[in-house]
Amino acid sequence: MPTPDATGDDVTGSDDEQGINQPLPFLGTSDSSYSVNIKFRNSQGTDATLVAWLDKNQDGQFSADEIFDSFDGGAYAINNVLNGANFTTDANAKTLTWNGLSGLNQGTMHCVCVLPINH
């Protein structure tokens, strides 16, 4: 259940802040792709769309061209997470990849992953 301080799920035994192992893999300025393994579960009762952005131009905004383009080896798609999907261990984590990176600058880059909750 959502709460104002975002801890509602933690008190129900579902600590979802551990979906990405830290620290994130290093991304060099000459790299042309970047991958992150993510753990998640879809228990919403319907298929869902996982979206993740890599702020590759470091402007603090997440643009459509910054969404990952490969989901565990397949192309990005709407409803890419089937209802009941359970990938919550390192062994079955899924890989998100951003391909075709170029013109990267040294500095801080943010990554945000969202699996929206349908109400």
Q: Ramachandran region of residue 30, left (φ > 0), alpha (ψ -120 to 50) or beta?
A: alpha
CA distance linking residue 61 with residue 83, whole number of Å: 30
Per residue in 89-100, pLDDT tens? Answer: 999 999 999 999
CA distances from 8 to 1, 46, 62, 98 (A): 5, 21, 26, 31
Question: Does the pLDDT value for residue 61 go beyond 50?
Answer: yes
Question: Does the pLDDT value for residue 119 go beyond 50?
Answer: no
pTM to 2 decimal places: 0.81
Per residue in 1-46, pLDDT tens? Answer: 556 555 666 566 555 556 888 788 899 999 999 999 999 999 889 9
